[in-house]
Copies of this chain bind each other. A is one copy, B any other.
Amino acid sequence: MAKIRLGILGGGEDSLIGILHRVAANMFDQFEIIGGVFDIQHEKSLKFGEKLKLDPARVYKDLDDLIAKEKSLPQVERLQAVSVLTPNFLHFPMAKKLLENGFNVICEKPLTTTYEEAKILNEIQQKSNSVFAVTYTYTGYPMIRQMKTMIENGDIGKIQKVDIQYYQGWINPLIHDKDKRSATWRLDPEKSGISCCIGDIGTHAFNMAEYVTGMKVENILADLNYLYEDNPMDIDGTVLLRFGGNVKGVLRASQIATGEENNFTVQVYGDKGGLKWQQENPNNLVLLKEDRPLQVLKPGHGYLSEFSLEGTKLPPGHPEGIFDSMGNIYYGVAMAINENEKYKGAYPKLNDGLRGMNFIEKTVASHKNGNVWIKIED
């Protein structure tokens, strides 16, 4: 079975979301990135395709071009799925076209800029056979999967309190300067819809609240903060939540929590215990039970649910980020093979292994000779 042929819209140059999607697509050997539209300027798009070592024929001028040409290819060559990584206001028209033309879609959040658009999309998909994913990335963490499973299994009993926080500080250096705030696309309703903070990160928090609890929010009461009269978009807010069965919760989101990076926390309390998770320390799931020591569950252990374990690829104690560390080493090697002088030092070399062997033998010798000092020659 061949890998799934994937196209990408947006995510070119140094786009962080672009890197994230490409790495994720490669991670389980399931996708092959074939082409896409990486930039509105075709020139730039082609250049980026070259960097990805793609066939330039599959790097298109725009989405219409992509759809037309891909549909002319035999089915075994045609793109099967397309990731939409463009600015928010393009999600809707692009996802709509892709669905209407039979592609599977992976779309960044927020899904659209209005609820109305989202409902239209939903209707189209329900009549289609396409897979449609919205990348609420955080739901993929092994310990979030474990949290969801444990709540489902009743490990913390009936839920009685839900508390979600998503605090960032990135908009602080922009918001207090009139010129800067009017030049920020996130604060432009044309490009970002009716909400900045809630639209960007509040949705993650809302999705997570429903995802881990398996409950639906039925009523909300919100207090948002815009800070300046001329700023049309919220940059901070608190939302009181009422789930079914009168379960209460509170969702707090901010982009003016100065100095915060991506402080997303999830706390759920039931009548038999509590579960807590922090995105910045994603390998730890804290379980609180009355009259028992606090427990910290970590990825990869046999005591976890199958669902959690399926999302972990390494043994306990290796934070998931180890892929990045190894990735950096492979990059150093690639640079060396490509004779890019600058990077030559950035991977461990044979000589490092040589010293390692020397160390091992001398260590055993020191011990076996009665714990004596031994010289390690250079």
Contact = CB atoms under 8 A, between A and B. Distances in A.
Most buried by B among A161, A217, A242: A161
A3 B53 contact: yes
A206 interface: yes
A378 B216 contact: yes
B349 A134 contact: yes
A117 B353 CA distance: 11
B258 A290 contact: yes
Nearest to A365: B222
Contact of A261 (B21, B31, B260, B317): B317
Interface residues of A, number: 191
Interface string A32-54: 10000000000000000011110
Contacts of A22: 29
A374 B262 CA distance: 28
A259 to B, nearest CB: 2
Contacts of A144: 325
Given A258-B156, A348-B207, A361-B114, A331 B27 contact: yes
A290 B350 contact: no
A149 to B, nearest CB: 12
B237 A258 contact: no
A57 interface: no
B115 A30 contact: no
B322 A358 contact: no
Interface in A332-378: 332-334, 336-338, 346-364, 366-367, 371-376, 378
A74 interface: no
Contacts of A121: 350, 353-354
Most buried by B among A141, A227, A373: A373
B223 A238 contact: no
A250 B248 contact: no
A86 interface: no
Contact of A218 (B81, B216, B375): B375
A26 interface: yes
B248 A223 contact: yes
